[in-house]
């Protein structure tokens, strides 16, 4: 049996998944390559699923970890095709739950209440400083610049009378390391970071579940999972 290095297989999985967790879809921190100081800047925004008391704890929740598709106890190996990449938060909470069931559970934690004042549609017209109190029902990650996603939403998301139609957009980029060739030498890892590529992305939260179909049809393969 070939001798595979788990760290290398993890990084390969990270790249295959465009730098995003296979469960929640959030960008991840590949600590073997991305410097700590840079990662702290990139992951300064709180997570939707859970609140962390310190920036260090928040960052650790985004750390990239290796998940075995077939467990070692069942004969699985560290080969790249048996490894997927998951953030630390998801990996530490999945336990033995089925992959599909766990992904559904993780996505359900995005559903939360929010209240405040914002620009919104009232009687078919955009109005400023409108009070709201509602629940987000759908969260999507789209590999597209947030500007273009917002333009599409403003022009093409249907306004459904008697249904709440709020949506919220946040820039959500990920990093990949296209030059990674399996080498784990320190100098090479540093160069992989220098040569990294940013994949522009957007996180959008929807109140109206029917809007998901419209977005998936338009952005198609740009939507992660």
CA dist., res. 38 & res. 36, Å (int):
5
Residue of 179, 199, 200, 201 lying closest to 191 (CA atoms): 179
DSSP string over 63-92: BEEEEESS-GGGT--S-GGGEEEEEHHHHH
- How large a percentage of the chain has pLDDT more than 70? 90
CATH pick for 6-110 out of 3.90.79, 2.60.40, 1.10.30, 1.10.3470: 1.10.30
**Strand partners for 115:** 133
In the chain, where the domains are located:
6-110, 113-172+201-222
Q: What is the pLDDT of residues 112-132, one digit of tens each?
A: 666 566 776 777 777 787 766
Give this prediction's pTM: 0.84
Region 63-80: what's the mean pLDDT?
85
Measured N-to-C along each axis, helices 210-219 and 146-156 cross at an angle, to the nearest 10 degrees, of 130
Q: From residue 36, give the alpha-carbon distance in Å to each of 60, 66, 173.
A: 10, 19, 17
What pLDDT sits at residue 113? 62
Q: What is the pLDDT of residues 142-175, one digit of tens each?
A: 999 999 999 999 999 987 765 678 888 999 999 9
């Amino acid at each position: 049996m070939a001798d595979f290095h788990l760290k290398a297989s993890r990084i390969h999985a990270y790249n295959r998944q465009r730098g995003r967790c296979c469960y929640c879809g959030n960008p991840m921190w590949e600590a073997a390559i991305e410097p700590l100081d840079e990662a702290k800047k990139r992951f300064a925004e709180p997570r939707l699923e859970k609140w962390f008391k310190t920036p260090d704890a928040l960052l650790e929740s985004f750390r990239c970890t290796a998940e075995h598709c077939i467990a070692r106890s069942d004969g699985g190996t560290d080969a790249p095709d048996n490894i997927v990449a998951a953030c630390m938060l998801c990996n530490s909470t999945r336990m033995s739950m089925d992959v599909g069931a766990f992904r559904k559970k993780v996505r359900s934690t995005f559903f939360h209440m929010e209240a405040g004042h914002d620009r919104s549609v009232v009687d078919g017209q955009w109005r400023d400083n409108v009070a709201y109190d509602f629940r987000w029902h759908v969260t999507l990650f789209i590999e597209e610049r947030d500007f273009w996603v917002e333009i599409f939403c403003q022009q093409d998301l249907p306004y459904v009378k008697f249904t709440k139609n709020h949506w919220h957009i946040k820039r959500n980029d990920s990093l990949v390391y296209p030059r990674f060739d399996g080498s784990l030498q320190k100098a090479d890892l540093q160069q992989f970071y220098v040569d990294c590529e940013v994949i522009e992305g957007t996180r959008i939260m929807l109140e109206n579940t029917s809007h998901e179909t419209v977005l998936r049809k338009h952005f198609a393969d740009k939507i992660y999972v």
